[in-house]
Amino acid sequence: MLARAITLVESKRADHQKAARRLVQDLLPLTGKALRVGITGAPGVGKSTTIDTLGTLLTGQGHKVAVLAVDPSSVRSGGSILGDKTRMARLAGDADAFIRPSPAAGTLGGVAAKTRETMLICEAAGYDVILVETVGIGQSETSVADMTDFFLVLMLPGAGDELQGIKKGVVELADMIAINKADGDNIGRATAAAAEYRAALHILTPRSPSWTPPVITYSAMTSNGMTDLWGKVVEHRRKLDASGELAARRREQQVKWMWTMFEDRLRGRLASDSASKAKLSRIEAAVAEGTLSPTMAVEDIARALGM
C-alpha cells in the first residue's frame, strides 16, 4: 500500500496528481514525528553501504527506517537503473525497513521531484527515521538540506587534496562531515583528513547558533564509529528541539516547498495547454536562432500566462 501511494504521488497523470494532493493533505496530521536525515557525498564515498549499516543498527534499536534513494537518470534515454536495494542487502531484507529508489528525472539538487511528499507518506505509515540518499554528482546537492532535519556530508580519506572536498555550497549547509573508510591502512589518512576539514570549517559560518558541525571518522564496512555517528544526529535533534530551531526550520521548509510546487504547476500549465505549447515552440526557436533574446523571451512567456 505504501509503495502504491508513492507511485501515485510520482505519477504525471493529472487525475493521479489530484488524488495525490488529496492523499497528502489527509495524511498531514499523521506526519512530523520522524527524524529526517539527508545524506550526500561524491560517487564511491559509500553512501549506500553507510545507509545499509546505519539502517540495520537503527532497526536493531527498535526504529522503523525508510530509505528514499535517488538514482541518477540518463540524460540521453531518461531511464534509471533503480538498483539501490542491491547495495543495501541487509536492510532490503529487514521487516522494519522500507527502501524506495526514485529517478532524479532531471530534478536538480540531488533529489527526486516528489521526495517531500514521499517523506510525509512514509512518516504517516509509521517510519520514525527517514534517510534520504542524494544522487551525489556535484555541488547542487543542496535541495536535500531544505527538506531534512540533519544534513550529513560523507567524505573520503586520501583522495588527493583534502580541501578540494570543501565544496562551499554543500559543506556550509552540512550539520556534520563524516570521513568514511577509516579502517585498515586508511585510519591514518582518515584522521588527517578529519583534522583538515575541522580547520577548514572554522572559516565557514555554522548553519545554526546552537550547533557546531562536528567532523568524525567511521567505517561503514566494519561498523566502527557508526554508533557515534548516529549519536551526533540525535544530539543535534535534541539541541535544535530545545532552542526551537527545528520547528522554525520545518516551517521555513514548508513555505519553500509551497513555492517549488507553485513553479512546477506553472510549468505544467504551459506544457499541457496546446496553444501555449505552440507559442513556446516559436519562442524557443527564435531564442535558438538568436533573433530573440532570452530576456525578451521570458517577457513573452509571462504575458502568455497573464503575468
Q: Of 77-81, 237-241, 243-247, which range is least confident?
A: 77-81
Strand partners, 176: 152
Q: Record the pTM.
A: 0.83
Within the chain, strands assigned E span 35-40, 65-71, 97-103, 129-133, 150-155, 176-179, 215-217
In this structure, are strands 176-179 and 215-217 parallel, antiparallel, or unpaired?
Answer: parallel
Contact between residue 47 and residue 41 where contact means Cβ atoms under 8 Å apart: yes
Contacts of 99 (CB under 8 A, 6+ apart): 66, 67, 69, 84, 85, 88, 91, 92
58-74 residue pLDDT tens: 999 999 999 998 764 43
CB 234 within 8 A of CB 149: no
Q: In what order do the strands lie in the sheet with 97-103?
A: 97-103, 65-71, 129-133, 35-40, 150-155, 176-179, 215-217
| pLDDT one-digit tens code per residue, 15-38 | 998 999 999 999 999 999 999 999
Q: How far is residue 291's CA from residue 295's CA, in Å, rounded to a whole number?
A: 12
Contact in structure between 260 and 243 (CB atoms under 8 Å):
no
CATH architecture of 30-243: 3-Layer(aba) Sandwich (3.40)
DSSP state of 172: T
Q: Residues 8, 102: contact at Cβ < 8 Å?
A: no
pLDDT tens, position by position, 80-130? 344 455 678 899 999 999 999 876 544 444 445 688 899 999 999 999 999
Task: Give domain limits for the chain.
Answer: 30-243, 257-304
How do beta strands 176-179 and 150-155 pair? parallel
Q: What is the DSSP pairing of strand 129-133 with strand 35-40?
A: parallel
* Cα 222 to chain centroid, rounded: 25
